[in-house]
Chain A
């Protein structure tokens, strides 16, 4: 690794941190748009509070401070690990988030891995013969995947597999004691739902990236030298096509999270998405704030990883900028 690469990595990390900081402010402001504030809810719960009590409570919670100082206070606490307590669960936010986060990670990673495993070979294969029956079928499948409302797909799958066929459960995680197999059974429908959509997205990009690469002159040169089609495909075209695909994949991470939110809601799967939804609906400011923040961190981290991976893989950059 040359110094140029290290500088680049450092620069990108610093940039990401700055963006994250700004995003935390944006998220904080957005959550502030939710109806009411913590004290209002207390008032609703206890009508005996006098205006004096309300004033004191406001002061205690720092709600009489201007927005800036509230934000700074929150930021300070957050950076030292204190994200406040959840109103809905009456426990510290971090405690509450843990299991949700884990569940979502499982859901997202399995779906992501599956969709990559399906989309990449399929996209490469379809790119070999653009316009053929196989290619058109793959294209149609991809279109359907990206155009389908995820929640509807989930509903349909539930109707088919849970209601009509009773093969798979419709909700929950099954971790309560059914063992690993039961957990897998509970995961299957949510994962399939999420995977279909994600596969469609990736398939389209892989296919067009491959087609674009195969069209280039260097591929024809290699083939003219007598290399077989397969060799060309895997050794030469694919690595080149992978560069833009990696970027797309990282960018689609945000979309994956949104899909996960919907999927978790349909399947009553206790994950981050579901948690955010419930906390927003329930006016649980701290929890919603933390959840939104974590989601943003994840997406930014994915983007950063993509950038770094891209920089590492692009031979032009690796060699050090000579042009």
Chain B
């Protein structure tokens, strides 16, 4: 269907960690990612679901080039990200942004909100001071905050608001894709719905691709075009959202669907309301 290469593609990615061994005993290896492959095309929302410890966050970090894979590679528009240097690397960093799970840890407590949101602009050398201030104001407003909030410190805001700030920071350099690592797990239920709505709107208005990592199937259902299911470092099933949710192929996926109460969107067979 697509002629241009997908924004992000992981091929045969493997990552092992040595378990903390203390001083003397040899640690065992834990395979966090085993031969993982996924594809994120332009403009689509791919949900990556799985229980805790399945390796989702590790995959996110490998995709963002924060962690180096032991095997396999990650392609950005067809180019191996490990080979990127200089201006190409910066282009990648600008095009693919990340929103983290913990809104209380992902913002530098010593900086003002304005400086936090403006950081991508500063790093990529975009605009002068006046220009940046305008962009920060616009970014804050697009996530539902006020331009005046730029002067305040992060600790003055609630969890939901901080996550909005993180999203504003991710948007400000006009990326093509955002990797969101469980962006709502740390928030209250009502706040979750707001953020979900915001993300949905932004996806359309900014024409973004999302890699949405979550353990909450209801959220995945509400947002995703395609779904990938992860279990203990393996991708066990991929496909269009309706297909996977409607008729899962893999037994693990079926168990997942049956066991976890679905939040809000629609009724499932035998599931909780």
Contacts and interface: CB of A to CB of B under 8 A. Distances in A.
A5 B24 contact: yes
A321 B24 CA distance: 6
Interface stretch (B2-10, B15-23, B81-89, B211-219): B15-23
A54 to B, nearest CB: 57
A322 interface: yes
B119 to A, nearest CB: 37
B60 to A, nearest CB: 26
A320 B23 CA distance: 8
Interface string B18-39: 0011111100000000000000
Contacts of B23: 4, 8, 311, 317, 321
Contacts of B21: 321, 323
Nearest to B20: A323
A94 B25 CA distance: 44
Contacts, number: 27
A228 interface: no
Contacts of A136: none
Interface in B22-67: 22-25
7 contacts: A4-B25, A8-B24, A320-B25, A321-B22, A321-B23, A321-B24, A322-B22
B257 to A, nearest CB: 35
Closest 3 CB pairs between A and B?
A4-B24, A321-B22, A321-B25
Interface string A2-39: 11110110000000000000000000000000000000
Interface in B169-226: none
A316 interface: yes
B20 A320 contact: no
Interface residues of A, number: 13
Interface string A297-323: 000000000000001000011001111
A67 B209 CA distance: 65
A209 to B, nearest CB: 22
Given A4-B24, A322-B22, 12 more contacts: A4-B23, A8-B23, A316-B22, A317-B23, A320-B22, A320-B25, A321-B22, A321-B23, A321-B25, A323-B20, A323-B21, A323-B22
Contacts of A320: 22, 24-25
Contacts of B22: 316-317, 320-323
A243 to B, nearest CB: 14
Nearest to B26: A321
A323 B22 CA distance: 7
Interface of A: 2-5, 7-8, 311, 316-317, 320-323
A317 B24 CA distance: 8
> Which of B20, B22, B23, B24 has the most A CB atoms < 10 Å from its CB?
B24
Contacts of A5: 24
Contacts of B25: 4, 320-322
A181 B25 CA distance: 54
B20 A2 contact: no
B20 to A, nearest CB: 6
A8 B25 CA distance: 11
A323 B25 CA distance: 10
Nearest to A6: B24
Contacts of A2: 24
Nearest to B24: A4
Contacts of B24: 2-5, 7-8, 317, 320-321
A187 to B, nearest CB: 41
A318 to B, nearest CB: 9
Nearest to A11: B23
Contacts of A317: 22-24
Contacts of A3: 24
Nearest to B19: A323
A2 B20 CA distance: 19
Nearest to B21: A321
B17 to A, nearest CB: 14
> Which of A8, A316, A321 has the most B CB atoms < 10 Å from its CB?
A321
A5 B20 CA distance: 17
A14 B55 CA distance: 40
A134 B22 CA distance: 40
Nearest to A5: B24
Interface in B206-258: none
A4 B22 CA distance: 10
A288 B22 CA distance: 42
A2 B24 CA distance: 9
A321 B21 CA distance: 6
A317 B23 CA distance: 7
Interface in B83-129: none
A304 to B, nearest CB: 15
A60 to B, nearest CB: 52
A87 B22 CA distance: 51
> Which of A2, A7, A323 has the most B CB atoms < 10 Å from its CB?
A323
A4 to B, nearest CB: 2
A268 to B, nearest CB: 47
A266 B127 CA distance: 67
Contacts of A311: 23
A4 B27 CA distance: 13
Contacts of A323: 20-22
